[in-house]
Amino acid sequence: MLDSTLQGTFDQVLRRNAGEPEFHQAVREVFESLELIQDRHPEYQEHGILMRMCEPERQIIFRVPWVDDQGVTQVNRGFRVEYNSALGPYKGGLRFHPSVNLGIVKFLGFEQIFKNSLTGLPIGGGKGGSDFDPHGRSDGEVMRFCQSFMTELHRHMGEYTDVPAGDIGVGAREIGYLFGQYKRLTNRYEAGVLTGKGLDWGGSLVRKEATGYGAAIFADEMLKARGSSFEGKRVAVSGSGNVALYAIEKAQQLGGVPITASDSSGYVVDENGIDLQLLQQIKEVERGRIHEYADRRGNGARFVKGGSVWDVPAAIALPSATQNELSEADAQTLVKNGVEAVSEGANMPCTPEAVTVFREAGTAFGPGKAANAGGVATSALEMQQNASRDAWSFEHTERRLTEIMKNIHSTCLETAEELGRPGDYVVGANVAGFRKVADAMIAFGVI
């Protein structure tokens, strides 16, 4: 049970946003941390910050009609939730997946506010997407869908207003089609209006790698803070998309041995360490399925259909697929197998019960809004490069990313310490992210 003020606000959130369990979960988790600062900040209550923070500034829902390869008209639903612009233009990805609905977009947008605040860069929070499923669609179908989606979305965007990027189901191909249509509709080469662009047309080096690299760097920082490291340790990774692939790469560079990857059909275990080149060829180039990795690798690598990747013993876990993919039972298995650190590459991949298991076991746990902030941080670096008509080197950009991740890590640790909860990165991330946004909202008056 929350304290009475927070509970009252939370009840209102439940009433106003019925049937959106992921959104409720995200709000509740932040509220639990805010209990620790209720008494220190009466001004937040006085200015109605909590209720204003939970209510998006704007929510856009639109029809996306398009014609498939058989000449049949299809209709999807498009969303953009412009959540909070206290610190800068709305910033956050677009997700194309059949599970997308308003509640999912709101949970992601809400998380994004605090994540973006933690980066220390001038970006507000937003998120969007569609229930369109790109799996099995031809390039032509994906292009026509993206063009129709942007035909509506473009009127809400702008480099000082709202700057989308990729997420599940939205990679370089989709960003290309979206940017092309934006450019055509507006007759402007406004590069800073979308991030995750191709390197030849306004993209930034390291953006593709940034989320996965950042999650591994965050894990490394948590390990170092306890006198440990990646060196020679088994690393379990879920997913095999953008975040997972580059979490694997950075974990390898840090001396770890990633041994798993997954998709929605099952997972592979490769006791000799994942062959990243082969995995990239199958997933990034051929857009294939994860079992093909085991088929082609030989070497004892095996595919497990369905099941849980978290059954594989590992010292470090990097969940990098989707929300609520790691349950309480999975967390108990990981703890029993001696996991030292869990760093969330995905957004909210661990259920609240799983997080409790890690906290009680003393496992270092990095919540997504801190651990996967490297992606959006590098998007903000892409915007900086676009604004100054410049392109930075890989080394320079990676150095900036590493600095940002280290800063987020120390901010979380210091905030947790200040609140009497040493080592609690959840509390540290929620409170540090929240305070900056809340203070800016007070400065602006009731708007």
Buried b / exposed e along 109-141 (16+ C-beta atoms within 10 A): bbbbbbbbbbbbbebbbbbbbbbbebeebeeeb
* Nearer residue to ligand NDP within complex by CB, 151 or 323: 323
| Residue 5 Cβ vs ligand NDP, minimum distance, rounded to whole Å | 31
Residue selected from 76, 195, 204, 211 as contacting ligand NDP according to rule CB under 6 A: 211
- Please report the beta strands in 118-263, taking only residues with DSSP state E, as ranges in sequence order: 125-130, 162-165, 234-237, 257-258, 260-263
Interface with ligand NDP includes 347 (CB under 6 A)?
Answer: yes
Q: Minimum Å distance from CB 127 to ligand NDP? A: 9
202 Rama class: left (phi>0) / alpha (psi -120 to 50) / beta: left
Give the residues across from 165 on adjacent strands.
93
Verify binding: residue 118, ligand NDP, rule CB under 6 A: no
Give which of 101, 96, 206 is closest to 141, Cα–Cα.
96
**Strand pairing category for 162-165 and 257-258:** unpaired
Considering only residues 258-297, where is the footprint of ligand NDP by CB under 6 A? 263-265
Whose Cβ is closer to ligand NDP: residue 151's or residue 372's? 372
How many helices and strands (H and E) does the chain possess?
Answer: 17, 13
Q: Exposed, middle or buried by CB within 10 Å (0-12, 13-18, 19+), for 63?
A: exposed
- Is 250 assigned a catalytic role? no
> How many angstroms separate the CA atoms of 195 and 172, rounded?
10
Q: Please tell me whether residue 346 binds ligand NDP under the rule CB under 6 A.
A: yes
Q: In what order do the strands lie in the sheet with 58-67?
A: 58-67, 73-84, 125-130, 90-96, 162-165
The one-character DSSP state at 306 is S
Closest CB 209 distance from ligand NDP, rounded Å: 10
322 binds ligand NDP (CB under 6 A): yes
Residue 9, interface with ligand NDP (CB under 6 A)?
A: no
DSSP-assigned letters across all residues of 391-402: ---HHHHHHHHH
In the complex with ligand NDP, which residue's Cβ is closer, 374 or 428?
374
User: What residue has token string 């941080």?
Assistant: 377
Tokens encoding 196: 């995750």
Q: Residue 93 or 428: which CB sits closer to ligand NDP? A: 93
Nearer to ligand NDP, 49 or 294 (CB): 294
Distance CA 160, CA 147 (A): 22
Figure out which of the listed residues 128, 166, 202, 258 binds ligand NDP, where binding follows CB under 6 A: 166
Among 243, 254, 257, 350, binds ligand NDP (CB under 6 A): 243
Kindly tell me which of 146 and 441 has the beta carbon lying closer to ligand NDP.
146
Distance, in Å, from the CA atom of 242 to the CA atom of 211, rounded to the nearest integer, reads 8
In the sheet with 364-366, reading across from the earlier edge strand, the strands are: 257-258, 234-237, 316-318, 341-343, 364-366
* Residue 385: half-sphere exposure toward Cβ, Cα within 13 Å: 26
Best CA proximity match to 362, nearest among 231, 178, 228:
228
Other beta carbons within 10 Å of 65? 12
Chain residue whose CB lies nearest ligand NDP: 241
Report 43-82 residues binding ligand NDP (CB under 6 A).
none
345 counts as binding ligand NDP under rule CB under 6 A: yes
According to CB under 6 A, which residues from 356 to 375 bind ligand NDP?
A: 372, 375
Q: Which of 85, 148, 181, 320 binds ligand NDP (CB under 6 A)?
A: 320
- With binding defined as CB under 6 A, does residue 239 bind ligand NDP? yes
Q: How many residues bind ligand NDP (CB under 6 A)?
A: 25
Which of 91, 115, 127, 250 is flagged as catalytic?
127
Q: How near is the Cβ of 402 to ligand NDP at its closest, in Å?
A: 16
Element (H, E) at 364: strand 364-366
Using an 8 Å Cβ cutoff, are 197 and 203 in contact?
A: yes
Does position 85 interact with ligand NDP (CB under 6 A)? The reply is no
User: For residue 291, which amino acid is it?
Assistant: H
Nearer to ligand NDP, 244 or 441 (CB): 244
Residue of 104, 321, 331, 364 that binds ligand NDP (CB under 6 A): 321
d(CA 138, CA 69): 8
Stretch that binds ligand NDP, among 10-18, 218-226, 248-256, 339-347 (CB under 6 A): 339-347
Question: Per rule CB under 6 A, is residue 344 in the interface with ligand NDP?
Answer: no
Pick from 33, 204, 240, 385 the residue near ligand NDP by CB under 6 A.
240
Contact residue for ligand NDP among 85, 242, 260, 343 (CB under 6 A): 242
List, by residue number, the catalytic residues.
127
Residues in touch with ligand NDP (CB under 6 A): 93, 166-169, 171, 211, 239-244, 263-265, 320-322, 325, 345-347, 372, 375
